Amino acid sequence: MSRRAGAFIVIAIIAAVLGFTKIGNAGIFFASASERDDRIELSAKKSKAFKVDLKDDLITVRSRDGVVILTGTVADESHKLLAQKTVEKLRGVKSVDNQLKLEGEQAEKDSDGTLSVKW
């Protein structure tokens, strides 16, 4: 292997670890954390599971640095798991904090100290 090829491989590995999304003749492009988070949230909303199976549930997907928080209410316990598994499979997701509640569950304090109530 030539030095040039070896150097390119090293650069590619470093770029992948740092989250660079494209390496090529035009240079190296970095996807910022907010861009990745926006892509995660949009991908979840566009997924078949969210558009078909979970369309009647009230689910909010928030991502920060690849850590996704699911909040809202779902009609069935299986929907909680489906939402979590769907998001876990998305590119860039590091972990999922599933805070989804079943419809009709008593209001509880959220992690931010506010009350959630379903009317």
DSSP classification of residue 113: S
What's the CATH class of domain 32-105? alpha beta
Instruction: Give Cα 26 distance to the centre of its chain.
Output: 28
pLDDT, tens digit, for every residue of 58-104?
999 999 999 999 999 999 999 999 999 999 999 999 999 999 999 98
What pLDDT is stored for residue 65 in this prediction? 92
Please measure the distance between the N-terminal and C-terminal CA atoms of the chain and give it in whole angstroms.
66
Q: Which of the two residues, 23 and 62, has the higher pLDDT score?
A: 62
Question: Phi and psi at residue 7, in whole multiples of 5°?
Answer: -65, -40
What pLDDT is stored for residue 17 in this prediction? 63
What pLDDT is stored for residue 39 in this prediction? 94
Q: Which of the two residues, 7 and 73, has the higher pLDDT score?
A: 73
- What pTM, to 2 d.p., does this model score? 0.64
